Structure 1
Amino acid sequence: MRKILIGLSIGLLAVLTACGPTEKEEVEKETPVTGENEQVEKTDANTADGVDEKELKDTLAEFPEGSPERIITTSVPLAEMLDLLDVTPVGVPTSTNPLPANFEKIDQIGSPMQPDLEVVTSLTPDLILGAESLRSTLDKSLEGMDLPTAYLPTDSFDDLKLSFKALGTYFDKTEEMDKVLNQLASKENELTEQGKGKELPSALLVIGTADSFMVMNDESYVGSLVKKLGADNIATSVLKVKDRYSPINMEDVVVADPDIILVLASGDHGASEDAFKKEVESNDTWTKLSAYQNDKIEVLDYGVFGVTSIKNAEKALTDISTYFYE
């Protein structure tokens, strides 16, 4: 177990979403956590795909009237949604996260937080789509420019569904929209049935930055997936952390003693393998945890869990369920 732990390399989500996640490296994957696999029940306000109607209405209110034809998106998750809906923008963000292959030849407008205003102006957009988590930053960057904007949430699993449905509705792409959302709903229902009657393990979700290690609560992308399964994320239920990403307090973690630890890891992001090795060697508190002693420390694939993605959401939910629905 010690060899496995020392060999972990921790993935980076900048102030993150999801990644998502979350654009995670540019700061971009509900009801309380349920107990013992008690599933979150959909209210009457929810549609069959699980998207809340009021939230959908509020999100659609972000969009300007009319039918924009020259769209710029500053968000990789939103660019992916446009591609799935067969809506082609005139500008996409510059990012280390992968853009849809169909958009490779589209003009890149620079950072999601600070786009190149000359490029943006030259593309004469009639709508700019951005991530809700970057609203204040992007508004400041675009200050003085008379450009219609719409900001959509992309940090969690439910955020992705909500924003995808809003885009599909707004651009009248209901066929493409329903295909994706129905498939996701089918997978959620399948996993709900699979988890019925099972007592799920409690979990600690860990991520590393370049200089520290943090826990992820339910509002993070990975946290939203764990919550969707009905499992207990101790960051929310016991540690009571308010931010998506909070410093680890090992004394509190030992008291909570999670059954399983999920580590978001990537050799190309965040804390290095050596940094985590030093953390373990300098703090033997890790060895006191049941998850350590029972060989229940699992490394998550950054490619699946590190960036919020409607395209990969079904795989992310399915893959993470294997740690709980054994």
Structure 2
Amino acid sequence: MKKFAGVGLLALSLALFGCTEQEEKSKDSVEVESQEQAAKDPVVETDVFKDGVDEGKFQEALATFPETVPDKIVTTSVPLTEMLHLLDIVPVGVPTSTNPIPTDFDAITRIGSPMAPDLEVITSLQTELIVGASSLQETLDKALVGMNLQTAYLPTDSYEDLKLSFKVLGTYFGKEEKMNEILQSIVAKEKELETLAQGKELPSVMLVMGTSDSFMVMNDKSYLGSLVERLGADNIAQSVLKTESTYSAINLEEIVVADPDMIFVLASADHGASEDKFKQEVAQNSAWTQLSAYKNDKIYMLDYSTFGVTSIANVDTALTTIADYFFNDNQ
């Protein structure tokens, strides 16, 4: 009997060991499956999404808005008006401008130009918050001295400014779903163009802005310049000419030395400059003809409606257009 008992104990031990081993294998299997599932989990996909907005600047801008979200908002900025429209936020007042305002806002009260809004109209609207562009903050603050009106300002000059301000508005007004939908679309376009750029040598470029008086060079602080920078091309205003101002007078001697591969000209007859005027500029100074961009027919006139006004709705088109010039050698 003792012999059989010993065999029984041995069998029981082996069985228990087998169960333990099987449990360990099962745990390992579960861990592997969990890791595989985590790789497919949409939450991980969401976490991977990066909008490229500087978190510090975002929090700083968001903190300038009042704690209580107001109902009656007035905006003095066309780009910000467009953002409010995309986020389904209806202000009580929008700026008067030659630049396009969303047609859905046609019935909304016009409060005057961004630089000199009509304060009586703003007051009559029982405005609780004025949202304006940071570039005009000093001017607007002076006009509002002595008036009990809350203000918040957001940057709108560059491509990165637009994403930052759009995120602030979407977050503040609780429109995160629509905000993320649009930002993800923009980031997807960025990644698509980054893929196209891989292994390709991007050109050096010069950006020219036409005014009623003259033509000027634009650096990376301009909207067009920020698009070029985002795509990774070399803007000679930044790298060679070392310009500090967003718009600087043209020095053809320096430009001939820099010799950009491409030249983009932003000109609009409505703003005192046109393609014909630029051709006259070239005809009056033979230095232009010394440039590689001129010899290789790489001087391009850009649509002012797309590149002359900062617009979150147009960034996809703007990025794609510039990228087409960079990546398609047959243009």
TM-score normalised to structure 2 length: 0.83
Q: Distance in 2 between matches of 1:187 and 1:277?
A: 34
Q: Distance in 1 between matches of 2:300 and 2:282?
A: 15
* Counterpart position of 1:113: 115
Matched-pair contact (CA < 8 Å) for 1:47–1:53: no
User: Within 5 Å, which residues of 2 pair with 1:287-306?
Assistant: 287-306=289-308
Matched-pair contact (CA < 8 Å) for 1:210–1:272: no
Q: Give the Å deviation of 1:273.
A: 4.7
In structure 1, the gaps of 5 or more residues are 1-45
The answer to whether structure 1 residue 183 and structure 2 residue 201 are counterparts is no
Structure with more relative contact order (C-alpha pairs < 8 Å, separation 6 or more): 1
* Selected match of 1:170 from 172, 175, 183: 172
* Counterpart position of 1:211: 213
Q: Give the Å deviation of 1:281.
A: 2.4
* Selected match of 1:228 from 230, 245, 248: 230
Q: Distance in 2 between matches of 1:176 and 1:270?
A: 38
Matched-pair contact (CA < 8 Å) for 2:260–2:293: yes
3-state SS in 2 of match to 1:218: coil
The answer to whether structure 1 residue 149 and structure 2 residue 151 are counterparts is yes
Deviations for 1:164-194, whole angstroms, at most 9, x for unmatched residues?
A: 0000000000011011000000000111111
Task: State the one-letter code of the partner of 1:115.
Answer: P
Greater percentage in helix: 2
Task: State the one-letter code of the partner of 2:223.
Answer: Y
Matched-pair contact (CA < 8 Å) for 2:71–2:128: yes
Matched-pair contact (CA < 8 Å) for 2:78–2:101: yes
* Counterpart position of 2:324: 322
* Counterpart position of 2:80: 78
Task: State the one-letter code of the partner of 1:317.
Answer: L
* Counterpart position of 1:198: 200
In structure 2, the gaps of 5 or more residues are 1-47
* Selected match of 2:106 from 104, 107, 114: 104
Deviations for 1:101-140, whole angstroms, at most 9, x for unmatched residues?
A: 1111000000111111110110111100000010101111
Bigger Rg, which one? 2
In angstroms, what is the RMSD of aligned CA positions? 1.2
Q: Distance in 1 between matches of 2:289 and 2:240?
A: 20
* Selected match of 1:280 from 279, 282, 290: 282
TM-score normalised to structure 1 length: 0.84
User: Within 5 Å, which residues of 2 pair with 1:237-252?
Assistant: 237-252=239-254
3-state SS in 2 of match to 1:317: helix
Matched-pair contact (CA < 8 Å) for 1:113–1:141: no
Give the total of aligned pairs.
281
Q: Distance in 1 between matches of 2:176 and 2:72?
A: 20
